[in-house]
Chains A and B, each alone.
Chain A
Amino acid sequence: MDIEIRLKALMLRGLDGDAAAYRECLAVLGVRLRAYFARRMSGAPGDVEDLVQETLLAVHLKRSTWDASQSFTAWAHAVARYKLIDHWRRRKVRQTLPIEDHIEFLAAEEPEPSVGLELDRALASLPDRQRILVSDVKLTGLSLAEAGARAGISEGAAKVALHRALKALAERMRRAD
């Protein structure tokens, strides 16, 4: 199971503050998540992408609950599964998800990403400062320090503000429907 070894190593480096390793970890995970959700939600690519994004946000915000002595993919699979069931619950879809092994979660098919709408909607509803910080970091590839400087705050303050913005995004996406 080399994907587990690879993801776990990347995640551990990410938790150590290595942004490049962390980005790679989330990117690999994102591809797997897309395949996982696509297999279970036929014909709703927009919803699939929304769930991928909501799950990535949750993985990020809830990372302290991953016990590094346990499997990372099993943990991420449980987060994805919870988000999928929660999605169905909110949409009042009666659907059951069979208990499945997380090995299957790693199946290698790779559907194309599509565009999710919920995240943009959630982002638009954030206060200006938070929204600009998130877009500066993601779109222009500015480092957190540069984005902070543009907003007139220190890197530390930018870090706190970004974290708050991501938390608010997750909360808004969760309440979207």
Chain B
Amino acid sequence: MRTDDLIDALAADAGPAPGLAPRRRLGVTLVGGGLVALLMVLTWLRMRPDLSEAMRGGMFWTKAVYTGLLGLGGYLAIERLGRPAGSGRRGWMLAGAALGLFILAGTIQMMTSPSILVALHLMRGHSWHVCSVNILALGIPMLALGLWAVRGMAPTRPAQAGFAMGLFAGGAAATIYGLHCPENTFTFVALWYSLGVLLVAALGGLLGRWALRW
């Protein structure tokens, strides 16, 4: 088949591309993945019993803003990295700044604690052994949905794009996890929430290498 013939066939299919535009696809991913994570919290992990009380406090929202910013960074990165030659710089900088700030706050909180035992408790909280894994579990459905969405785009750096999608999914999952998890110290959140989000991102990067080729 000559290239001119191919061009004729392509021209016959002129017009806007069918299906959802990139931003729409990511929006659908957030709504779908967020709902699944919420359902998992409602039926499996359960809401924290003191939720309405906690929502009046500052730390509940500080946590939500932190993980929300990680997710927003992931979104901004994948919105660009899903396109040929796109760069995730803006998203990386936002997520990196949020992470850096929280690690700083967590470290200060730990260093200024009165004793080594208190510092250890800050690090471990009541749920250090399940926190990151729970966030990973909540993030996987949205990551799967997201990888499918990004397959319909055209990432030229598949591993980075997968990582960005994972950051988006992990940030959203960690935010919803806050409805269940009563931990409320900077140290704990900087350590285990961040680790959970980064696990989802790393899984995304790993899967992206082969799932996002086109």
B9 nearest CB neighbor, chain A only: A138
Task: Report how many A-B pairs have Cβ atoms within 8 Å.
Answer: 123
Cα A145 to Cα B8 in complex, Å, equals: 14
A166 close to B10 (CB less than 8 A): yes
A9 neighbours in B (Cβ, 8 Å)? none
What is the CB-to-nearest-CB distance from B28 to chain A, in angstroms, rounded to a whole number? 14
B154 close to A30 (CB less than 8 A): no
Asked whether any CB of chain A lies closer than 8 Å to the CB of B27, the reply is: no
Q: Which of A26, A77, A139 contacts B11 (CB 8 A)?
A: A26
Cα A63 to Cα B156 in complex, Å, equals: 14
B1 close to A119 (CB less than 8 A): yes
Cα A82 to Cα B212 in complex, Å, equals: 12
A64 close to B4 (CB less than 8 A): no
Annotate A38-61 by CB proximity to B: 1 below 8 A, 0 otherwise. Answer: 000000000001001100111011
Q: Which of B2, B7, B84, B153 contacts A78 (CB 8 A)?
A: B84
B1 close to A116 (CB less than 8 A): yes
B13 close to A60 (CB less than 8 A): yes
A102 nearest CB neighbor, chain B only: B85
> Which of B12, B17, B82: most chain A CB closer than 10 A?
B12
B11 close to A119 (CB less than 8 A): no
Cα A113 to Cα B17 in complex, Å, equals: 28
Asked whether any CB of chain A lies closer than 8 Å to the CB of B117, the reply is: no
Q: Chain A interface: which of B18-26, B126-134, B138-146?
A: B18-26
Cα A141 to Cα B4 in complex, Å, equals: 12
Q: Which of A21, A52, A58, A64 contacts B3 (CB 8 A)?
A: A52
Cα A159 to Cα B15 in complex, Å, equals: 10
Annotate A114-143 by CB proximity to B: 1 below 8 A, 0 otherwise. Answer: 011001100100000000001001110101
A30 close to B3 (CB less than 8 A): yes
What is the CB-to-nearest-CB distance from A113 to chain B, in angstroms, rounded to a whole number? 6
Asked whether any CB of chain A lies closer than 8 Å to the CB of B14, the reply is: yes
A123 neighbours in B (Cβ, 8 Å)? 1
Cα A164 to Cα B5 in complex, Å, equals: 17
Asked whether any CB of chain A lies closer than 8 Å to the CB of B6, the reply is: yes
Q: Which of B4, B6, B15 contacts A15 (CB 8 A)?
A: B15
Asked whether any CB of chain B lies closer than 8 Å to the CB of A163, the reply is: yes
What is the CB-to-nearest-CB distance from A110 to chain B, in angstroms, rounded to a whole number? 13
Cα A23 to Cα B9 in complex, Å, equals: 9
B1 close to A138 (CB less than 8 A): yes
Asked whether any CB of chain B lies closer than 8 Å to the CB of A144, the reply is: yes
What is the CB-to-nearest-CB distance from A73 to chain B, in angstroms, rounded to a whole number? 11
What is the CB-to-nearest-CB distance from A154 to chain B, in angstroms, rounded to a whole number? 15
Cα A141 to Cα B83 in complex, Å, equals: 33
* A56-B154 contact given A22-B11, A26-B11, CB 8 Å threshold: no
What is the CB-to-nearest-CB distance from B75 to chain A, in angstroms, rounded to a whole number? 15
A137 close to B15 (CB less than 8 A): no
What is the CB-to-nearest-CB distance from B176 to chain A, in angstroms, rounded to a whole number? 29
Cα A26 to Cα B9 in complex, Å, equals: 11
What is the CB-to-nearest-CB distance from B148 to chain A, in angstroms, rounded to a whole number? 15
A65 close to B83 (CB less than 8 A): yes
Question: Could you give 18 example pairs across A and B, Cβ below 8 Å?
Answer: A15-B15, A15-B16, A17-B14, A17-B15, A22-B10, A23-B8, A26-B10, A49-B3, A53-B3, A58-B214, A60-B10, A63-B17, A65-B84, A65-B154, A77-B85, A82-B154, A134-B9, A163-B13
In order of increasing CB-CB distance, the 3 nearest A-B pairs are A78-B85, A78-B84, A23-B11
